[in-house]
Amino acid sequence: MAGALIVVDLQNDFTPGEPGGALAVPDGHAIVSRVNELARSERFELVVATRDWHPPDHSQFDEQGGSWPVHCVQATEGAELHPDLDRHVIDVILDKGQHSGSDGYSAFEDTSLAETLRARGVNSVTVVGLATDVCVLNTGRDALREGFHVTVDREGTRGIDLEAGDSERALQELRGLGATIT
Ligand code: VGL
Ligand code: ZN
């Protein structure tokens, strides 16, 4: 069984720090060492890092009537991968959320990820990254729908928790759909 690691949106705008990200996930930077450990482990056929990669007027932004502050605008510092993420072990960088009018929360939405994985013979994916209750959840759902075995590594993910418990509910939903939560 060939596996891929999908590192979701481990970007400056989603991590606290100096300067703080525009949509910093509490404790988001704390996952970097776990993500690097998994990515370096040689357990995975393929390591994919996704980037939320929005045009400046994306419909997700509150100034356009969406739900979030401006974040991860294409080719800005905030949209870069976190500096401590080990680039040497990333095989593919995949940009998502590029089209205004669709959220692009999932790494499978309007991207070639499913084809890329199948072309490498991948049938199982481990999902880590940010945020548990938004893009990890949506990526996990779509991976299951596409027929992949899905594992979510708790230590490698953190959530926004706009409502207390959102991240835990996201993990339980994925478990109910057939994912393994480790
Ligand atoms: C995300 C909110 C808006 C995420 C992306 O990566 O979880 N959350 N855009
Ligand atoms: Zn976004």
Per residue in 120-160, pLDDT tens?
Answer: 999 999 999 999 999 999 999 999 999 999 999 999 999 99
Who surrounds ion ligand 2 at CB < 5 A? 52, 60
| pTM, rounded to two decimals | 0.98
Taking only the tens place, the pLDDT of each residue in 56-97 is 999 999 999 999 999 999 999 999 999 999 999 999 999 999
Q: Which two tokens stand for residue 111?
A: 């991207």
What number does the ligand 1 atom closest to the CA of 103 have? 9
**Position 18 confidence tier, pLDDT thresholds 50, 70, 90:** confident
Mutate which of 54, 81, 99, 135 for ligand 1 pocket (most atoms within 8 A of beta carbon): 135
Residue 174: CB within 6 Å of ligand 1? Answer: no
What pLDDT shows up at residue 79?
97
Q: Is the CB of 134 under 6 A from ligand 1?
A: yes
Residue-averaged pLDDT of the chain: 97
90-118: pLDDT as tens digits? 999 999 999 998 999 999 999 999 999 99
For 2, the token pair is 């060939």
- What's the CATH number for 2-181? 3.40.50.850
For residue 10, which ligand has an atom nearest its CA? 1
Token reading at 140: 């996990």
The two structure tokens encoding residue 108: 């499978």
Of 53, 64, 71, which is best to mutate to test ligand 1, by the most ligand atoms within 8 angstroms of its C-beta?
71
Ligand 1 proximity of 153 Cβ (cutoff 6 Å): no
Position 1 scores a pLDDT of: 75
Asked if residue 7 has its Cβ within 6 Å of ligand 1, the reply is: no
What was the pLDDT predicted at 21?
A: 96
pLDDT higher than threshold 90 for residue 20: no
Closest ligand by atom to 15 CA? 1
- Report the percent of the chain where pLDDT is more than 70: 100
Ligand 1, atom nearest to 8 Cα = 6
Q: Where are the domains of the chain?
A: 2-181
Interval between CA 96 and ligand 1 midpoint (Å): 11
Q: Is the minimum distance from the CB of 25 to ligand 1 under 6 angstroms?
A: no
Dihedral of alpha carbons 160, 62, 84, 139, sign: positive
